[in-house]
Amino acid sequence: MNKLVQNEMLKLIAKKRLVVIALIIGVLVILFTYAQYKQVQTQREKLGTSDWRTILQQQIVDTTNRLSSSRISDEWKKQLQISLQQQQYYLDHDINPAEPGAPTFMRIFLENSIDLFIPLMVMVIASDLVSSEHSLGTVKLLLTRPVNRWKVLLSKYITLCLAISLIIAITGFLSYAISGVVFGYKGFGAPILTGFHVTDEGLNTSDVKLLSLWKFLLMDLGLVWFVAIVVGTLSFMLSVLIRSTAAGMGVMLAALISGAILSNMVSSWESAKYFFMVNLRLTDYMKGNAPPIEGMNLSFSMSVLLVWWAAALLVSFMVFTKKDVY
Amino acid sequence: MEKKITLSVKDLRKVIGRREIIKGLTFDLREGEVFGFLGPNGAGKTTTIRMLVGLIKPTSGSIHICGSNIAEDFKGALKNLGCIVENPELYPYLSGYNNLLHFARMLDGVGEGRIKEVTALVGLSERIHDKVKTYSLGMRQRLGIAQALLGNPKVLILDEPTNGLDPAGIREMREFIRFLAEQEGLSVLVSSHLLSEIQLLCDRVAIIAKGTIIRTDTVQKLLSNREKMVWRLDPFFKGKEVLGALTGIEEKEDGTLWTEYNEQMTPEWNKQLVEAGVSVLEMNRKMPVLEDLFLELTGGETIE
Ligand SMILES: Nc1ncnc2c1ncn2[C@@H]1O[C@H](COP(=O)(O)OP(=O)(O)O)[C@@H](O)[C@H]1O
Ligand SMILES: [Mg+2]
């Protein structure tokens, strides 16, 4: 098995996919670092001070103003109320919610890339892992060795998991290393609030506790990794089922994008919560954002994703070991 | 004494959709022989080969490679098999060496020594570290064979190995295959739609059409009494008269006369013609074409 994984790694490296992915992540991080930097600057100019308490105060006033406007929908209103409560809590406890520094940037970057950007990068690798062997015709050589088919597929899957771990590590490292140039590398010990629950009555802060940012980041990374594995496994299944890499990628991309759109409009369609793609924003639960559909929480979303993952893996292995190869 | 049987196929069938593509094939390969699989395009050669190498599952029937049933002991059976199905497709983005390394890792006990050996055997040592995408078709074909030989197989299966090669390449390939069978004792199964190729290369041949084997026999027996002699004579009518009196003749549209090929009698007929004042402009031994052979074997039924 070791040798088979070595083989898959050899091919992956020869295709230079990981280098391309690292480059994309690097460029994106630079872009976001600049954007963040601009934002901080504008805020300072507007307020004439760099004191975050003043900024937070200003944000609370802004949010309150928006809430009093009559043209906003109920859902949006609820969201605003929750974030208002959070902001107030931070202010009362003298905690800077956006402690500037590379670790905070990394947290924000991870939270924003969990449902589209990271899955996209994972897809680049997963979606042609099997189908490319078909389009090259090398599958005929691969499957006529004295090696059982499930072992061939397992070696590919292990390689995928390794590659995904590497992508997450690269993302973490680059977002920290690059943004640190601008924001400084300190701030891992900063306290951050977690444990908010969104209930019918609004934000429940009874379980709220302070956590060091590095612990929070580790949890974020774990959640991002979990989502990436699930998405990777689904693309992997499509790669087994569909011979054309482009078609497989198209299906997966459509699912991911529809997930992003659905999240914003399905609050009244309850059964939509069983789709994997509306459950991808796991890190939102850590911050206490309102879920897209009422009743969803971290363990629910993780269970849904786990079921999709298991089903995809099962289908992949069943089909691959049985099917005729032409 | 009969040579050992290395590949044994019994009543092999394959149904795809509702069509029966392969309709019960039975044949054996023996040690050290080159076995031809001859049939027109669409006869089912590739489909059969795909079943032999485990890419598709037979609907019924059995395949044994060196005694192991491929359906029950896949690893045991495939250990003794090397193959190229259709084109020699390798990873274009890897070097030839890395391709061989890749497939060697999938075999037990095949190391760098063996990789060097097969590389030298197919004459690729010089370019082995170049990327495969820079290779010519002939080089790819050779790398494909090197790959198939890595695990010291007893049975080698090649699907249309000379497809797309130039005449020199075809000859080289032919000599190489004969070498493998005669010197290394491999059983080689070669499919082709070209009679001339099979004739020069194989010891025995199975003729296949529409998914059935019409006939299995040695090449000599199949072809010997089917060769023809083509004559071009001047003056034509006089020649026709003389030759016709000696043997059965067939008149062709291009002004030639065809008789059976008979080594003993040809000089005699030639002498008679010359004595009668007929000049023999051309005298040619003619191999039957596949289509004619089919017509004869199937009794006039077309092969579409
Ligand atoms: N995947 C498939 N689905 C349906 N029919 C097929 C498939 N593959 C081959 N065939 C049919 O099987 C027959 C034999 O094909 P093939 O084995 O490729 O012939 P050959 O290699 O002798 O030229 C052809 O009539 C072809 O149309
Ligand atoms: Mg064919």
State whether B37 and B167 are in the same domain: yes
User: Looking at chain A, how many residues does it have?
Assistant: 326
State whether B105 and B234 are in the same domain: no
State whether B99 and B26 are in the same domain: yes
Interface test with A, best of B105, B108, B137 (most A CBs within 10 A): B105
Q: Which amino acid is at B138?
A: G
Show which of residues 4-43 on chain B sit within 8 Å of chain A, judged by CB atoms. Answer: none
Q: What is the mean pLDDT of residues B265-292?
A: 83
State whether B117 and B239 are in the same domain: no
State whether A140 and A190 are in the same domain: yes
Q: ipTM > 0.90? A: no
Tell me the longest C-alpha to C-alpha distance in chain A.
73
Only one residue has tokens 């089917």, namely B226
Residue-wise pLDDT for B122-170, tens only, equals: 999 999 999 999 999 889 999 999 999 999 999 999 999 888 888 888 9
Going by pLDDT thresholds of 50, 70 and 90, the confidence category of residue B304 is very low
Please count the structural domains in chain A.
2
Angle at A256 between CA A252 and CA A261, to 5 degrees: 145
Q: Ligand 1 pocket test: which of B15, B20, B21 has the largest number of ligand atoms within 8 Å of its C-beta?
A: B21
pLDDT tens track, chain A, 326 positions: 889 999 999 999 999 989 999 999 999 999 999 988 888 788 777 766 667 788 788 888 888 888 887 777 776 776 777 778 777 777 777 766 655 678 888 998 999 899 889 999 999 999 989 999 999 999 999 999 999 999 999 999 999 999 999 999 999 999 999 998 888 887 776 667 676 666 666 666 666 666 778 888 999 999 999 999 999 999 999 999 998 889 999 999 999 999 888 887 777 788 888 899 888 888 888 877 777 787 788 889 999 999 999 999 999 999 999 999 88
Q: Is residue A45 part of a domain?
A: no
State whether A58 and A188 are in the same domain: no
Q: What is the CATH number of the domain that holds B87?
A: 3.40.50.300
Q: Is residue A43 part of a domain?
A: no
Q: Give strand ranges (E) for B160-278.
A: 187-192, 204-209, 212-218, 228-234, 250-251, 257-260
φ/ψ of residue A185, rounded to 5: -95, 0
Only one residue has tokens 């992956």, namely A12
Q: What is the mean pLDDT of residues B25-50?
A: 93
Going by pLDDT thresholds of 50, 70 and 90, the confidence category of residue B234 is confident
List, as one string, the DSSP characters of A2-50: HHHHHHHHHHHHHTTHHHHHHHHHHHHHHHHHHHHHHHHHHHHHHHT--
pLDDT value of position A52: 75
Q: Which long-range contacts (CB under 8 A, 24 or more apart) does A49-57 make?
A: A52/A96, A52/A97, A52/A98, A53/A91, A56/A87, A56/A90, A56/A91, A56/A96, A56/A97, A57/A91
Distance from CA of A311 to the nearest CA of B (A): 25
Chain A residue numbers touching B111 (CB-CB < 8 A): none
Distance from CA of B209 to the nearest CA of A (A): 20
Structural domain of A147: 2-35+100-322
Residue among A4, A140, A325 minimizing CB distance to B106: A4
pTM attached to this predicted model: 0.85
pLDDT value of position A57: 86
Q: Is residue B118 part of a domain?
A: yes
State whether A154 and A178 are in the same domain: yes
* CB distance B154 to B80 below 8 Å: yes
Structural domain of B256: 228-286
Percent of chain B residues topping a pLDDT of 90:
54
Please count the structural domains in chain B.
2
Of the candidate ranges A65-74, B31-40, B49-58, B117-126, the one whose mean pLDDT is the lowest: A65-74
